[in-house]
Structure formats: structure tokens, C-alpha cells
Chain A
Amino acid sequence: MRQRSVISRRATAAAAAGLALVTAAACAGPQDGDAQGGGTGGDGKPRKGGTLTVLNAEPQTDFDPARLYTSGGGNVPSLVFRTLTTRNREDGAAGTEVVPDLATDLGRPNADATEWTYTLKEGLKYEDGTAITSADIKHGVERSFAAELSGGAPYLRDWLIGGSTYQGPFKDRKGLASIVTPDDRTIVFKLRKPEGEFPYLATQTQFAPVPRNKDTGTRYEERPLSSGPYKVVRNENDGERLLLERNPHWSQKTDQERKAYPDTIDVRSGLDSAVINQRLSTGSGADAAAVTTDTNLGPAELARVGADKELAGRVGTGRFGFVNYLAFNPKVKPFDDIKVRQAISYAVNRTSVINAAGGSALAEPATTFLPEKKAFGHTPYDHFPAGPSGNPDKARELLKEAGHENLRITLTHSTEQNRQTSPEVATAVQEALKKAGITVELQGLESNAFNEARWDAKKTPGFFLSRWGADWPSGAPFLAPIFDGRQIVEDGSNYNHAQYDDPAVNREIDAINKLTDLDAAAQRWGALDRRIGKLALDVPLFHPVYKRLYGKDVKNIVISDWTGVLDISQVAVK
């Protein structure tokens, strides 16, 4: 499944990926996370066989490894496309680790982490029995540079030497010189700057092998060659229905991560979220062996599930690295005044906001920008303690000092009913600020217009609702796009909403990127978050929680902290 996380790095990259990202950003959200269950799914040992049905809202559009934007290789895509590395398929925090997949290890960096070498496992085969070679991985990465196969994350374009100008293998047959394949099992990536987190990037589907002689360009998505445990048998209406069957040439011996219990996986999308939840809760017929990878329980449904023990036992709970926040653009008055930003931080009533987001079961209060997980380097802080329901007195005091009594401001939000950047959340903020004497005018924009406005450096609103999701569980894809001054994009998608450019912070980001010790890096990301938090460039509001139903017959529920969603590759229906 498409994780649709947000993120981008530098100007060149973002400019190219801008459009795709805007769409991706628009959809970023709990739709695509899933749940953590802690193995509550059914009893008895999981066995092979049966058909697993996936009931989804979003179709698997453009099911081509070059075009998918995933976190950790996605859920459904990961059944078909194996990548150099992948996410650890384990419950909870262990699931945030990156592990080898096609490669024998996580990659061997050179001294300054600008060169990464991978060796493929032996005996790897496609669904047609032919061997997977390192040249196929190289071709897979290269084709994601083709304009007609755009859609993936922009990192490759930014990181690889020559990536910013490369046009893809269809226009430039020589290929990308920064990817070298000394032999059939070895591949080397040469980066233009140190990137200690390259193994995380190698989990994305762009690192899936695509043999050059089987590449049909834009038509490859109709019949992609599988390297994973399942092959695509049918793909109707551009991913609306995807029927997957066992790939006989996939071997458990080379793949420790995917369990592949069901014989068939039937992905049906384009369903209404209420329909999905109703079908899962009723669980009649094939729906008893059904899961969803993109549909949360809504607050009203949650109220019902809470009263039903049987249903409550079939809810998987998970946390994807995600934050919803109020963003300031200090270029717009009065947000240039830190006291105004602090006052708003104090005035926010997180209880109301969380209720607007669906209640305490679906959202947890956030005072830090980084999600509350070790992998992200979460370091607790609350620089402007508002308590659960806000501190309007302190806010008034600050506004008085700043000479901004009877402040009138505009809060920009989306009209999309997503309970994240939606009118409900905006209204809750408006009501809380009213208590501090701030009059908030709401400006609701249709979701595309909203994304255009908030990601455009020239017309970024002064005060708006925003959200950010992780491309992989680390502080880097969280903090760098938003607080790295060199990532301010004038023409294209700019995620540095405050247009914050502090050379010291930029240097620290570079220094952390050099680290290949991911734990050490995480700690420093946490410290950096804490440091930037003092500037009140944003008000973290909440981290969403994913609650998803699964069918009665579904077993072996694994929900990692990487995706926050039930991992289809682990599920059994027998």
C-alpha cells in the first residue's frame, strides 16, 4: 500500500517531485497507517492457505515500483516487490528497525557514508524463474528518474551523484554513473553527500529489481514482474482490484521477513470507509478473513466498538510516525513576534483539539514535533506548558507584553473531512484562542488549494493547520525538510513553513547525516527538535493513533511502530 507520507528534500528534487508530493501530502494521514494489535488475532497457530481479502478506500494506483511512494516499501506493494532492505516485521518498537531483504546486510558504507555497497543474496528469482541480478536493481532505480514514471520519494534525485539532471534509462541509455554493478550480485551507490540513513531509503520500492528486457515502461504497472511471495494475476481499473497469487519461485529461505500464509490475496479498493468498517465488523462470508490497510475506525464507530467486547478484541492499534501541528509563517505579521507565537502555544486547548480529531483513542497530545518513539529520537519537552486545556491567562499576559491585545488573526485550514487539517480542528483552536482574547478568522480552502497555499513559499499563510509523516522512522525525514534552511524552495513545494534558516542548525543536520550509527543519530535529532522547539515556529497538537478492525478469522496480527498498521505479509487466515 502507498504510505503517502509527505517529505522532500532539496529544491531540485522537490521541484521535480512537487506535483506528486502535493497529492501525496494531501493524503498523508491515518488512512494509510494501520494498527497495532499485539497478536490478539484469533487463536491457534497460523497455517498456510486460504484467501485474504483486503478492503480499502484508496486503490493501488500505478502499481509500478518506480511510481509508488511508500514508507518502508508499503504494505501491499511489499508482497510483490522485494527491495534491498526492508522494515523489520515485528510488533512495536522492534518494527522500526531496518533489516536486509534482497541484500545480505544493511549495506557497507565508506568512511564518510557517501558510498554504499550491497551484495545480493544467492538464489533470488523472479516469478518466471529467472535470476535477480544487481543490474536489475540498478535499472529499477534508474527508471524511477524517468519523467513518465514519477511518483516516488525525491531522495534519490537529491542524493545520488548526477541524480538532479538524470532523465531515466529510456532517454539516457548509458545509465547513471553513480550506480555501479561490479558483478551480478554487487551494487554500489555513490552519493554526493554523506547519508548515514541510506539503508532506510533502500526499503522503498524504487530499490526493487526490474529486468531491463521485461520493462514495458508506463505499461509495466499492469503486469509487474514479482520478486516477492505473490504475483499480480489481475489488476482491474488501475489498482481498484488487485488479485495476488503465490509466486512459486519465491523462497522462504531467502526471505526471513515475509510469512506469506494465505494462498491468495484479493485487494478490493474504492470502498467507502463506513462500508469497510461495517463489513469488517459484520464479517460475513469472505469478510471474515478480511483486513483493511487504509481505513481507520471513525470516532462514532469507536463509540460503538467500545460497547462491544467481541468487536473491541478485533481492533488493531498502531502509531505511525506522524504529527499534526499549527504552523506559523513568521514572514507574516504578527507572527514575526515570538511572543505572539508563544501566546498561541500557551492558549491551545489540546483536549478540544483531540476531541475534534476523534477523541483520546485516536489522537494523543503532542508537545514535541518528533513522534513519541525512540527510533525518532523523541526527547520530551514542553516549552510552553498549556496543560490539557490551555493557559489563556499566560497567553493574555504575553500578548499584553507584546502590545497585541485584541489580536485578530486568520487560521487557514482544509475543508477536507480528515479530522486533521479539517474545520473541526480549526474550530477547536479558534474557540481556545478566544479565551485568550484572540479573535480567529477561519479560512477554509479546498484540499488542493490548501496544499498549494501551504507548500508555496511565496504565499504561505501566516497561521495554518499542517501535518507531517515519516518516510522512515528517524528524525531526519521529519526535521530536515522543515527546518533545514537550504531546503527552502522558492518555486515548488516548500515544507519549511517558517522559512527558517539558521546556519548552526543546518550544520548540525549535516553532522547527524554523516552518522551511520542510527541510535546515536536519533539522540541528536531529539536534541535538535528540543532546541528548535524553543522558537515556537509551530505548535505540536497531536500524534494520531490508528485503530483498525480486522476480520474474525484473521490471525498473526503484527503491527510495527514503523507503519502503525497491520502487516499483510504476516497475516494468516487459516
Chain B
Amino acid sequence: MSTVAHEPAAAGGNALPPAAPGGAAPADGGGTARAVLRRLRRRPAALISAGVLALLVLLALAAPLITALTGQDPHTYHDDLVDSARGGVPVGPLGGVSAEHWLGVEPGTGRDLLARLLHGARISLLVAAGATVVQISIGVAVGLAAGLGSPLLDSLLSRVGDILVALPMLVVGIALTAVVPADFPRPLLLILLIGALGWGGTARIVRAQTLTLKRLDFVAAARLSGHGPWRVARRELLPSLGAPVITYAAVLLPANIVVEASLSFLGVGVKPPTPSWGQMLSSAQTWFRADPMYVLLPAGLLFVTVLSFTVLGEAVRTALDPREASRLAVGTRRERSGRPAGRLNGRLSGRLNGRPAGRPSGRSGAAQGPRPALGPSEPLKSPGPLRPQKKTLS
């Protein structure tokens, strides 16, 4: 990760703005968050992904209502809807699609697939989101501590991180499920398990970023002015870490859905009869020829979700990336289409004018020292600092 410039002034200016929308300091980021949103809105793929995800979350939340509407629930067996002599394959076309069972029924049990998919989405999304939050929290804390702490602490934490990256989660999962009391809620266990074992990557990124940022003037200034590491981390570093962390979270979240799936696949995930996509895929794997619908439905949903997250994550990353801004400003596409960078500048400065005067961003006074030299508090909007940034692309 070397998104940060060598040239202190430019880098200081560039590394920070994306930080504000990073959400670490929402109070500061109003203007830039809007900029990011606007940049996102320019990407149809991002909009579609966000729409799909919103729809999925909505469906998951409304699962009991929808299944009440169809008169089904995810647990009731319908022995008459499967052909026992043929291994329990659903009776009827497309895996038993009917007026009562809109997406057909599960082979072997005759349980309503729509109900199971919707209820499964609740678990899958909840576990994935919860695990991501845990991973990011631990990862950022450990990364910051490693980056700012003594070399000993750094190597200690880094090695722990390395070990965790190498630790096979499935084996640990199996071991844990044998030890953890049976009545411990499984979704929470999964969140903790995936969260506690999956923070290695985040910690590495945060540590690397911290080490780079630490050497920059505004951080040095903050440290020289006597602020302790805690305050430096909170006020100077965290905002700048927002971009990479958010980006990484967008990658982690779909990965966590898959991990939940594979854990449930091995029977160490959620407990039956609670449905989850992973559990459904696990039992569906042998049915791909005899009852394709049974495989395609959970697999398709998982695919769409993971794809949406990935596309949205990528879009957010680009939107947050100062280099993207520079590309927009001086980049090839707009130049070729004959639109000078000035157009963007004009827009940006126009918005800048409307920006309420206040605390420019989450920086300490000390760090703000060099900034006035760059002019307005939003370097992104000024083409000035963007040019040096280009040199730093690597």
C-alpha cells in the first residue's frame, strides 16, 4: 500500500481528505462525504450494486412478513412434495415450483425454499457484517499499536497477525464448536470466530499505513507538540486510515459470507434447522444434476451478493482514492473527450465556496501548520496538490 506521497506537503494534503469520508470522523467530513457520494453516483455499477444490496437487506429484514404472505415457514416438512423412491427429489417441475412454493421445495424434506432463502439471508448477512466489524476493529487497533508502538511490540503483534493469517479457520472452528457450550448462540459464535481469526490482513494494512504516515510532517508535528501516541493515533492517523480500511472492509464482507458458507458447509456453522446460505449450499452440492434449482438459488444469491459487495467496494475505494480525483482532473478520459480539467476544478471550487467554514478536518492545530500554505482546506478541490501526487503512483 503506497497511496501516500513522498512529498510531505502534497501527501499530507492528499492523504487526509479521503480520511474524512472514511467515517472515522463524520463530523468533519460532511463536504467530502458528499463528494464521495457524488462520485459514487456517477458510477451506474455502484448504484446497481447498492440497490441490490439494499433490496437484499430489505428482503432479509422482511423475511417473516414475506413468508407469512406466502403462507410458508422455513421449517415445516412437506413429505408429500418429494419423491421418496427417487432419493427425495421434489415432485414437479423446476424443483417443485407451485403456487404455494414460489421457488420450489428442498429435496428430501419438502421445506419451502423461498422461506429458507430469505431466512438464510438474515443469518448470512448478519454473520458477515458482524464479523467484518469485529475484524476491522481488532485489525485497526492492532495495526495502530504495531505501527506506533516499540519495535518489540511491533514484531510481536505482527507475528501474531502472521500466525492468524496462517491459521486454518475451519480447523479452529471445528475445535471451538466442540468446546463452546451447546446453547451459545451460533451466529454470535461465528461472528466472534471469523472476526477474531480474520483481522490479520487489516492489521497489516493499517500497520503499513501507520508506518508511512508516522513519518509525515503533520504527524511528526503532532508528536513534537507533545501529544501522546493515543491522541496521535486518534486525531492524526485514524482519519487517514479510513480509505484503505473501508476499501478492505468491502473486500472482507463478501469473503466473510463465503467463510460462513464454508463453515456451515462443514457443519460447524449455524445449527439446523436454522437456514443459512452456506448450510443450504452444503446440502445442495450433490443435487446439481437431479435438482438444479436447489443449487442455483442459494449459489446465485451468494454470487449476486458477493459481486455487489465487490463492485460497491471497488467503487467506494475509487471514490475515496485521491488518485482517482487526479485522474478525473487530468486523466485521459476527460481530456480525450475534450473536457479540460478546468471543468472539474470549477465544479469543485464552486462547491468549495458553499462549504461552511468550520473546522476543516480532523487535524490538530499542529498538523494544520503546513496546510494553509496549500490554500483552502480541501486540497482535493485544488489542482495544485494533485500533480505531485501523480509522481507517487506506484
A residues at B contact (CB < 8 Å): 274, 298-304, 306, 349, 351-352, 354-356, 358-362, 389, 410, 415-417, 423-424, 426-428, 430-432, 434, 441-446, 449
**Does B55 touch A at the CB level, under 8 Å?**
no
CB interface residues, B 269-303, toward A, < 8 Å: 271-273, 283, 286-291
**Does B6 touch A at the CB level, under 8 Å?**
no
Q: Are A300 and B79 in contact (CB under 8 A)?
A: no
Known contacts A356-B108, A423-B272, A442-B271; is-contact A431 B87 (Cβ 8 Å): no
Q: Give min CB distance, B8 to chain A, whole Å.
A: 55
Which residue of chain A is the closest to B75 with respect to CB atoms?
A: A431
Which residues of chain B have C-beta atoms less than 8 A from A298's C-beta? 87, 286
Selected A-B contacts with CB under 8 Å, 7 pairs: A299-B88, A302-B87, A416-B267, A423-B267, A423-B272, A431-B77, A444-B271
Q: Give min CB distance, A471 to chain B, whole Å.
A: 29
Q: Max chain A CB contacts within 10 Å: which of B110, B178, B267, B283? A: B267
Which residues of chain A have C-beta atoms less than 8 A from B266's C-beta? 415
Docked complex Cα distance between A199 and B266 (Å):
43
**Does B107 touch A at the CB level, under 8 Å?**
yes
Q: Are B267 and A417 in contact (CB under 8 A)?
A: yes
Q: Are A299 and B177 in contact (CB under 8 A)?
A: no
Q: Give min CB distance, B235 to chain A, whole Å.
A: 48
Q: Are B291 and A428 in contact (CB under 8 A)?
A: no
Q: Are B109 and A355 in contact (CB under 8 A)?
A: yes
Which residue of chain A is the closest to B283 with respect to CB atoms?
A: A424
Q: Are A431 and B267 in contact (CB under 8 A)?
A: no
Q: Give min CB distance, B331 to chain A, whole Å.
A: 50
Q: Are B86 and A355 in contact (CB under 8 A)?
A: no
Q: Give min CB distance, A545 to chain B, whole Å.
A: 11
Known contacts A301-B286, A303-B290, A416-B267; is-contact A358 B79 (Cβ 8 Å): no
Which residues of chain A have C-beta atoms less than 8 A from B110's C-beta? 355
Q: Are B273 and A303 in contact (CB under 8 A)?
A: no
**Does B225 touch A at the CB level, under 8 Å?**
no
Which residues of chain A have C-beta atoms less than 8 A from B157's C-beta? none
Q: Are A300 and B82 in contact (CB under 8 A)?
A: no
Chain B contact residue count (CB 8 A cutoff): 34
Q: Are A360 and B84 in contact (CB under 8 A)?
A: yes
Please pick, from A274, A299, A416, A446, the residue contacting B108 in the complex, using a CB distance under 8 A. Answer: A299
Which residues of chain B have C-beta atoms less than 8 A from A441's C-beta? 182-183
Docked complex Cα distance between A460 and B128 (Å):
36
Q: Are B76 and A431 in contact (CB under 8 A)?
A: yes
**Does B113 touch A at the CB level, under 8 Å?**
no
Which residue of chain B is the closest to A354 with respect to CB atoms?
A: B84
Q: Give min CB distance, B337 to chain A, whole Å.
A: 54
Docked complex Cα distance between A302 and B286 (Å):
11
Q: Give min CB distance, B109 to chain A, whole Å.
A: 7
Which residues of chain B have C-beta atoms less than 8 A from A351's C-beta? 79, 84
Docked complex Cα distance between A541 and B182 (Å):
25
Docked complex Cα distance between A356 and B84 (Å):
9
Q: Are A303 and B291 in contact (CB under 8 A)?
A: yes
Q: Are A361 and B87 in contact (CB under 8 A)?
A: yes
Q: Are B177 and A446 in contact (CB under 8 A)?
A: yes
**Does B174 touch A at the CB level, under 8 Å?**
yes
Which residues of chain B have C-beta atoms less than 8 A from A301's C-beta? 87, 286, 290
